[in-house]
Amino acid sequence: MKKLLPVALGFLLAFSLSASLAFSAEEQHWGYSGAYSPENWHKADPSFAMCKEGKNQAPINIEPRYDVALPALELRYGRKGETVLNNGHTIQVPFSNGNSLTVAGGAVYSLQQVHFHTPSENTLAGRSFLLEAHFVHQDENGNMLVLAVFYKDGEKNPGLEPLWAAMPQAAGRTAKLTEKFDPMSILPASLDYIYFNGSLTTPPCWEGVRWCALKTPLTVSQDQAQALRNAMKGPNNRPVQPVNARPVLN
């Protein structure tokens, strides 16, 4: 009996461990800590190979290398967000068509969703920020453009409040917003930006994503950043990736 007990316990442990792994593989699959943290995303699924093999991955440490006359960005965000989702990796507000970003003389992109990372994923000349928002857009050919906005440690950001008040604590939950979310309310007045080619910063890490990082940061309070960290059960930023041969345009 004394010899059997450890075996039985071992079996039970192995069983519950594999059950929880199966659950996490299905529900979570990858994360920012644990077995499938960013350096191991490619091991979580064969379709995540680009997370390791890509040469144009995001985020990066943004150090502009070329001064060029970048085309101006024009935003027409008329539609407000009505729900907020906790997908286990971020807090996200979906948008139906109606909010557009135009690169002067170029493509028109439609805002798909806005989500958040704490601390920031990209860094600006080595500087990390408390929060970064990603405004994810797509044009009619499926090309993606992410508008990135930084928030430094400071005053509470009032534009975030409708989301933060309703933010679900459990992964997989969506909440209806009591007060609608205006995406313009968390953007700086100046849309001056730095441009680089990159990828999704989450699996499957697909490349060919156009990145416009706004130069002017807004503020966020420590309490607001902490509230997002609590809902995410920790930080939700992928570390910066090698720039390699990419030009970073200013």
- 132 close to 250: Cβ distance less than 8 angstroms: no
Among 42, 80, 89, 134, binds Zn ion (CB under 5 A): 134
DSSP output for 128-191: --SEEEEEEEE-TT--EEEEEEEEEESS--GGGHHHHHH--SSTTEEEEEEEEE-GGGGS-S--
- Examine residue 217 and say whether the peptide bond preceding it is cis (omega within 30 degrees of 0): no
- 42 or 134: whose CB is closer to Zn ion? 134
Q: Write down the least CB distance from residue 92 to Zn ion, Å.
A: 9
According to the binding rule CB under 5 A, does residue 89 interact with Zn ion? no
Q: Write down the least CB distance from residue 133 to Zn ion, Å.
A: 8
Q: Which of 29, 42, 89, 137 is catalytic?
A: 89
Residues facing residue 197 across a β-bridge? 210
Query: For the range 26-29, what are the long-range contacts, defined as Cβ-Cβ under 8 Å and sequence gap of 24 or more?
Result: 27/88, 27/171, 27/172, 28/88, 28/171, 29/203
- 24 or 113: whose CB is closer to Zn ion? 113
- 134 or 137: whose CB is closer to Zn ion? 134
Binding to Zn ion by CB under 5 A, coded x per residue (else -) over 179-218, reads ----------------------x-----------------
Q: Write down the least CB distance from residue 91 to Zn ion, Å.
A: 11
Active site residue 42: no
Write out the two tokens for 190: 């100046």
- For Zn ion, the binding residues (CB under 5 A) are 134, 201
Active site residues: 89
